[in-house]
Structure formats: structure tokens, C-alpha cells
Amino acid sequence: MVENKILTYSSSPHVKTKRTTRFIMANVCIALLPSCIAGCIFFGLYALLLLSFAVVSAFLSEVIYKLLEKKNLNQIIKEFDFTSIVTGLLVGMTVGVNYPWYTVIFGSVFAIIVVKMLFGGTGCNLVNPAIAGRIFIFISFQSVVTAWVLPNFASINQSALTGATALDSLLKTGNTKLSLLDLFLGTGVAGCIGETCKLALILGGIYLAVLGIINILYPIIYIVITGVFTVVLCDFNFALFLPSILSGGLILGAIFMATDYVTTPNTNLGNVIYFALLGLINAGLRVATKMEVVSFSILLMNLVVPLIDKFIVLKPFGYKKVKEGK
């Protein structure tokens, strides 16, 4: 009976939500599944191979790092929180099928070891590991991957074209040679594995929003501002609005990468500023460089987050501004 039992002792509160980091990250994985499946359907088995390589190498590099930290297996299993799986999936989803298989392994290992674990593991990274991993691949293997599948500005048959041409013609004429429906569904669109099927990405986003894991307003701010600012920069060519939103990795980046908890500000106002700036930088750089820059804009803004957090702090309940001076 209770008299002889050792009671649990801890600080209040004694009841808590059932939600854990592991639950949240597992649900992000679930939300990513539709677009992974869509990618495998569009790009074939090699896409599946790339995804699995990315996930397995991300997972293994985390485990090995922890083993080197002299943690025992039990502890590693207890600490396992699906973040490495999410990172691996995202790295796999942001490469094209013309990439050699070993590139994703380099990307995942770089993302986990250098970007995440060396900074202290989950929650301590400065920038989103998956984004850093993707950019690592992008920059390192330019000599290997000669024909870049340019993020779905062009149809799959034009993949030999250089990206600049396709994006340039899009921004000048608003003519993508692809119907908007094709862009939305990802049918016959060239691009990275996970970013072509917008429908699947949006489904995943809605799933996360319904569970309350992300605030759906923030990705919408990012996407809409990108579209509007592209229109403004291209002489108010309103025909560009939808194609610029639906093309490239924008929706994938907005829903799954920019909303990463670790690298977003901590206040609502801070978040609005962060996502609005993301949209502006993204549109501006796209028009200026004629390149797909979603991952670069997120990487850049990730580094601005500590600054936003320093200056935007909540005011306590009942706060009144204290007069300066005396």
C-alpha cells in the first residue's frame, strides 16, 4: 500500500501534456510521407534509393556520434527523437534523380555531424541541418552533376536546359510551357524528388497545422509575400504570381524547412518578421540571380533569428513603459 511505497517527488506541475519532442518529430515524418511517395511515383525507384540512403546515413551518423560520446545503446534508444529521420528525409527530398547516390550520404552526414551534433545535438543547431546539407551537396558536387535538374521551372523534357534560361523566360514572359495544374500536381515537372507535388506537400502542411505543430499562417505569409514581391519586381506582371509560388522548392521550404522550431524566433511578432523577410529575400534573390534560392534564403534568415529574438521580447502582463531618465 501507499504507506510502504516510495512516492515520486518532483516540482509542480504534476500533470503535463502527452506531447513530446519524439511525438512532434514522428508526426513531421508522417507529414513528409505523401510527398516522398509522390516523388517515388514521378521519378522511379532511384528516387526511393536516394531517400533511403539519405535517411539511413543520417540515422547511423547520429548513432555513431553518440556511441563516440560513450553513451550506451539503451540511452541512445531513449534519446532517439526522430529528428535525424526528418533531416535525412529532407536532404533526400531536395536532390534530383540525376545525383549520384553517394552525394546524399555526404549531405546527410554533414547535416547531422557538423551542423547538428557538433553544436550540441537536437535543439542546439544554429541553422536547419537539412538546408545546410542540401547546400553542401549543391556546392560540392557541381563538377559531378553537370546537368542540373532545375527546380521545376521547366518540364521534364527540358531538363537539359540550364536553369537560368528557364527561370529567365518565366520571369520575362510568365510563360512556363507548363499548365498551372501540372505545376500543382507535379506531373511531368522537372525538379527535386520531394518538391514537385505541391498537393502532397500542402496535405502534409495541413496535417501538421491540424495537430497544432506548426502555425499555418507563417508559411502562408512566406509564400504570399514571395509571390507578391516577384510580381512587383517584374513590372507588375500579375500572371507571374501563381507560377512563381508553385515553382521551385518554395512550398517545401515554407512548410517543412522554414518552420523548424529550433531555427525560428520565439515570439509571434518575431515569426511574422522572420517569414516576411524570408519572402522578400527569396523573391529578390530569385529575380536578381535567376536561380532557385529557397534554401539559401532560409539559411541566411536562420542566422538572423538570434538577432530577432534579442530585440523582440514579450512584455509581461501589466507592463507599463518606464519613463527614461529620472
Residue ranges binding another protein (CB under 8 A): 1-3, 5, 7-21, 23-24, 78-79, 81, 120-124, 261-268, 313-320
Interatomic CA distance for residues 142 and 100, integer angstroms: 12
The amino acid sitting at 256 is F
Sign of the C-alpha dihedral computed for residues 39, 45, 50 and 51 taken in this order: positive
| Sequence-ordered list of residues with C-beta below 8 angstroms from that of 140, at least 6 positions apart, any chain | 103, 106
Task: Name which of 12 and 146 has its Cβ closer to another protein.
Answer: 12
Task: Name which of 120 and 325 has its Cβ closer to another protein.
Answer: 120
| Sequence-ordered list of residues with C-beta below 8 angstroms from that of 160, at least 6 positions apart, any chain | 147
Please state the closest distance from residue 268 (CB atom) to another protein, in A: 7
Task: Name which of 79 and 182 has its Cβ closer to another protein.
Answer: 79
Helix (H, G, I), strand (E, B) or coil at 13: coil
Task: Name which of 320 and 326 has its Cβ closer to another protein.
Answer: 320
DSSP letters, 258-310, are: TT-GGGS-SSHHHHHHHHHHHHHHHHHHHHHH-S--HHHHHHHHHHHHHHHHH
Interatomic CA distance for residues 200 and 186, integer angstroms: 9
Task: Name which of 152 and 259 has its Cβ closer to another protein.
Answer: 259
Interatomic CA distance for residues 238 and 230, integer angstroms: 9
Please state the closest distance from residue 231 (CB atom) to another protein, in A: 32
Please state the closest distance from residue 51 (CB atom) to another protein, in A: 24
Please state the closest distance from residue 90 (CB atom) to another protein, in A: 16
Task: Name which of 16 and 326 has its Cβ closer to another protein.
Answer: 16
Please state the closest distance from residue 146 (CB atom) to another protein, in A: 39
Please state the closest distance from residue 126 (CB atom) to another protein, in A: 11
Please state the closest distance from residue 9 (CB atom) to another protein, in A: 5
Q: How far apart are the first and last CA of the chain?
A: 63
Check: CB of residue 57 under 8 Å from CB of residue 105: yes
The amino acid sitting at 60 is L
Please state the closest distance from residue 312 (CB atom) to another protein, in A: 10
The three cell numbers of residue 35 are 510527398
| Sequence-ordered list of residues with C-beta below 8 angstroms from that of 151, at least 6 positions apart, any chain | 163, 190, 191, 192, 195, 247, 248, 249, 292
Interatomic CA distance for residues 30 and 209, integer angstroms: 13
The three cell numbers of residue 221 are 505569409
Task: Name which of 74 and 143 has its Cβ closer to another protein.
Answer: 74
Task: Name which of 316 and 325 has its Cβ closer to another protein.
Answer: 316
Task: Name which of 24 and 183 has its Cβ closer to another protein.
Answer: 24
Please state the closest distance from residue 240 (CB atom) to another protein, in A: 34
